[in-house]
Structure 1
Amino acid sequence: MPRVTRILDTVGSRRIAVATLTAITGVYYTFVAFTNCVDTDTNRRGVAAVLSMRGTIHHAGVDWRAITDSTVVWVAYVLIVVWEWLIALVLLAATVGWVRAFAGRSARQAAKLSGLGWTMAILLFAGGFLTVGGEWFRMWANKEVNATAAALQNFLVASVGLILLHMPERAKWF
């Protein structure tokens, strides 16, 4: 087998793609969590706007869902940021695992950590932001804060990672 083909078999492999996406998303969630820690006023106000439903379509049948208690808003905000830090840490640990796997160790731990991190991201963004924030608190109609596009972006990236991770090792595409 020519040397170029062997190199392409390695750098063009599914494992490299999964490891790369793991590293990128780990760094991304580190930035997200860090930003939420240094710009707490802006981001906490966003959570407050969504939970209070003040910028959305008002109707007596759904307005009762609004949460305006500042303590509840802070707790929700802190839980979101802590969850983002956990996602970042899990994906960064997975990245270390992938580096070790390329040095000859088993990739089993790295794969499990990647899967865990992306599942955590799906829980936060599809479960928390799109379902609870988007539908329950009507974020999709909120004129002040509408993070549904960002939540969908995060959900899709994590989903692509999980799909790549769980594909057969030797898939025949061509």
Structure 2
Amino acid sequence: MAVAAIAFFASLVAFGNITDYGTNFAFVEHVLRMDTIFPDATIGYRAIESPALHHAAYVFIIALESMVALLCWLGAWRMLLRLRAPLAQFQRAKHAAYAGLMLGFLVWQVGFMSIGGEWFGMWMSQQWNGIESAFRFFITILAVLIFVALPDEG
């Protein structure tokens, strides 16, 4: 159920980003432009001004979020189908869930916390700071990943 919950979450995030493209695109655009970081920050040279690259980055994010959803749904389904199977089969059924959960961790920890937060200085923005949300997301995903990775008893 926990893997399905992450699949549901990632599905909602991807769906929202696709169906309301402009709302979160503005977030990505401002983070990449670095136009709301501290005025005296010396990291502004890292800014990306190209609208084409802003769209490419956003589409890439949506693709990754969609892949997290698909892999977690697949993993949850495979685990459900093998719930009463021999332990070795159930363990093998977890592989898609591992991949989806790990990708989710990487999207929100590496993508948002490390790249957005640190490289593009998102933490300095009063308006376009997604650090707290990204932290909640990747910690939840990490907790589910740890839970799924715990050894099962036959």
TM-score interval, smaller chain: over 0.9
1:110 matched to 2:79? The reply is no
- Larger-gyration structure (1/2): 1
Match of 2:35 among 46, 54, 60: 54
Deviation at 1:167, TM superposition (A): 2.0
- Equivalent residue, structure 1, for 2:115: 132
1:49 and 1:59 mapped to 2: Cα distance?
A: 17
- Give SS of 1:107's match: helix
Kindly tell me the number of residue pairs found equivalent between the two proteins.
151
What TM-score results when the alignment is normalised by the length of structure 2? 0.92
1:92 matched to 2:101? The reply is no
- Equivalent residue, structure 1, for 2:51: 70
Higher alpha-carbon deviation: 131-140 or 156-165 = 156-165
Deviation at 1:143, TM superposition (A): 1.9
- Equivalent residue, structure 2, for 1:163: 146
% identical aligned pairs? 27
Structure 2 residues without counterparts, runs of 5 or longer: none
2:49 and 2:111 mapped to 1: Cα distance?
A: 18
Post-superposition Cα deviations, 1:51-92, rounded to whole Å, max 9, x if no partner, equal: 111111133621101111100000000000000000000000
Post-superposition Cα deviations, 1:73-114, rounded to whole Å, max 9, x if no partner, equal: 000000000000000000000111011012536213331111
What TM-score results when the alignment is normalised by the length of structure 1? 0.82
- Give SS of 2:82's match: helix
- Equivalent residue, structure 2, for 1:145: 128
1:28 and 1:135 mapped to 2: Cα distance?
A: 25
- RMSD across aligned C-alpha pairs, in angstroms? 1.4
2:76 and 2:152 mapped to 1: Cα distance?
A: 19
Q: What stretches of structure 1 move > 4 A for 4+ residues in a row?
A: none
**AA partner of residue 160 (structure 1):** A
- Give SS of 1:102's match: coil
- Give SS of 2:35's match: coil
1:60 and 1:79 mapped to 2: Cα distance?
A: 28
- Equivalent residue, structure 2, for 1:42: 23
1:28 matched to 2:9? The reply is yes
Structure 1 residues without counterparts, runs of 5 or longer: 1-19
